Structure 1
């Protein structure tokens, strides 16, 4: 019986062994197939993804817009458009920040922040251009005028006249408030070379040179000088779109001090020796009115023609001495309007 049981178990194992082996091999093949399929799918996905990425990259590169190069703002209209765009950005940032926003813009203390963008930009540009025309300046001048004196010589009333060319310089500060209106304060000096003195006949308007009272060479001559301080109002208008070139004018008041003295050649004491003829010397205050026209180029160079029209004189006691000791009729001294041509240059540091 023991032998029979052993044979029975051996036969049973032999019968079921192929079936068990087939199940294991099938599972292994299925796993291998699944693994291979997964590898193929992953490779396909990688390749497909790479292809899509490459294509999409190419498409993005093709559709990328070109960067626009901003052109420099030269004209006044370009500046306004540029400032207007900045204005909108400022307002947008203000809304984002909220109530803590504080206005800090050029000339914000002049321009109301609630004004329209176009007006705001126009006013800001106007103040900026005015700043470019403001500052220290220096210049040179040349002019011509008539100078008269009157008094008694040998019991005869004599009137003299000289017509000197005057040369000088000036300097000061000017301030513009916008494109059109400004002010300036400046001082200067005019002087003339020695000029012959002529007697003037009122009846027929003729003149004749005054002879040298010392008997030397040449005629009687005079020296004239004017030191002054002036305050003017400037007004001008641009004549092109750059707002750098202007045509305009000026008017103002002038106060100055005039000095006058006759000279003559003395045989023993030199060529220019003081001579007493109506006046020994005279120093007096001069009040005048300034009026003229101007051209400005590139905000810096200013050319002017104008008049200095006197309206009052103030003699300074102790600073004038008449040649007539008796002073039967007080000696007089006055001048005509000065016709001037000026060149002034704005100094920018």
Structure 2
């Protein structure tokens, strides 16, 4: 009985709270209407004063002012067309947010001792290797990615614009698939991959209706960002890769890899009702910059001995990341 009374009491409190919130909202809306009404009255009063003094009141429009200033001798019809173009451009400009889906491949090629062999003239160092993994070891991982973007776009006319935005994409677990040994196809590990970037694109839109609401187009640009990779070894398959099976590691090649990623962006777009934009594109790798923050895998044995891979013996590459995205313009 007490539980029932408590439930009804809580329900009553919840209803009272909801009514209070609704009342506050109604009060706020009423206040806003009063303020707008007061502003309208002030504007009308100023217009009346202008008319009384022999003037003609005109509503302020930056686009109209710009058109009259830069095209003073254009016909009324021409000015109307120009003004319409600027109005459409303004409608296509603003903050936007979106979601991305992506697909690509990552490659890590490990050649034990390659850095010393190519970067020193000292014989003893040239022959120095880690000696824990078979070499060469060439790996590949095919991954699906998910992410989002947020930024600002500005159209200068209905056809040409630019945008700047931040973008992030993530792959891990089942989305990342498995790391495979390209020599035999064995699944030797898994990974987590994150790519974040700041991007700048130029955009072209071609209207496909007279309403200037629907477009087909494209974009091209550059992105600069950072990528993080973490991998995990498949302990069962790892044994076949070891020169000394007394060693083991939770990681295959990397504990963490952090580096700068430079990208070319390009793609095709389809815009619906100005606000909704669907894009099919590609993030094409341009080059990479290692920051010296990577941490390669460390292998240990039961005696406590350890061997850490030389990070510069590992060459990382990624393929083009193909993307499908949806963005909404506020």
**TM-score normalised by L of structure 1:** 0.61
Q: 1:179 aligns with which of 144, 155, 158?
A: 158
Answering whether residue 271 of structure 2 is matched by residue 296 of structure 1, we say: yes
Q: Does the 8 Å contact 1:279/1:331 carry over to 2?
A: no
Q: Does the 8 Å contact 1:132/1:299 carry over to 2?
A: yes
Residues 265/336 of structure 1: CA separation in 2 closer, same or farther (3 Å cut):
closer
Q: 2-side partners of 1:188 and 1:326: how far apart?
A: 32
Superposition RMSD in Å = 2.6
Answering whether residue 178 of structure 2 is matched by residue 196 of structure 1, we say: yes
Deviation at 1:104, TM superposition (A): 5.8
Residues 155/112 of structure 1: CA separation in 2 closer, same or farther (3 Å cut):
same
Q: 1:258 aligns with which of 227, 230, 233?
A: 227
Q: 2:66 aligns with which of 103, 106, 109?
A: 109
Deviation at 1:327, TM superposition (A): 2.9
> Which residue is equivalent to 1:118?
77
Secondary structure in 2 matching 1:145: strand
Q: 1-side partners of 2:278 and 2:96: how far apart?
A: 12
Deviations 1:188-244 (A, max 9, x none): 21001223110113xxxx62211xxxxxxxxx2111111111000010110011110
Deviation at 1:113, TM superposition (A): 2.5
> Which residue is equivalent to 2:313?
330
Q: Does the 8 Å contact 1:257/1:284 carry over to 2?
A: yes
Q: 1-side partners of 2:58 and 2:329: how far apart?
A: 35
Residues 328/227 of structure 1: CA separation in 2 closer, same or farther (3 Å cut):
closer
Answering whether residue 137 of structure 2 is matched by residue 158 of structure 1, we say: yes
Correspondences of 1:200-349 after superposition (within 5 Å): 200-201=182-183, 207-210=185-188, 220-264=189-233, 275-321=250-296, 323=298, 325=308, 327=310, 330-347=313-330
Deviation at 1:184, TM superposition (A): 0.5
Secondary structure in 2 matching 1:287: strand
Residues 326/168 of structure 1: CA separation in 2 closer, same or farther (3 Å cut):
closer
Deviations 1:12-44 (A, max 9, x none): xxxxxxxxxxxxxxxxxxxxxxxxxxxxxxxxx
Deviation at 1:266, TM superposition (A): 8.0
Deviations 1:119-158 (A, max 9, x none): 2111100000111111111100101000011114624111
Q: 2-side partners of 1:226 and 1:127: how far apart?
A: 36
Deviation at 1:264, TM superposition (A): 4.6
The higher-RCO structure (CA 8 Å, 6+ apart) is 2
Q: 2:89 aligns with which of 119, 124, 130?
A: 130
Q: 2-side partners of 1:122 and 1:208: how far apart?
A: 64
Q: 1-side partners of 2:253 and 2:217: how far apart?
A: 43
Q: Does the 8 Å contact 2:197/2:223 carry over to 1?
A: yes
Secondary structure in 1 matching 2:209: coil
- Greater Rg, structure 1 or structure 2? 1
> Which residue is equivalent to 1:45?
none
Deviations 1:272-312 (A, max 9, x none): xx833222220000001000000001000000000000010
Instruction: Mark the runs of 5 or more structure 2 residues left unpaired by the alignment.
Output: 1-53, 113-131, 237-248, 299-306
Residues 245/260 of structure 1: CA separation in 2 closer, same or farther (3 Å cut):
same
**TM-score normalised by L of structure 2:** 0.65
Q: 1-side partners of 2:218 and 2:97: how far apart?
A: 18
Question: After TM superposition, what 4+ stretches of structure 1 lie above 6 angstroms from structure 2?
Answer: 100-103
Residues 233/106 of structure 1: CA separation in 2 closer, same or farther (3 Å cut):
same
Instruction: Mark the runs of 5 or more structure 1 residues left unpaired by the alignment.
Output: 1-96, 211-219, 268-273
Residues 322/333 of structure 1: CA separation in 2 closer, same or farther (3 Å cut):
farther
Secondary structure in 2 matching 1:172: strand
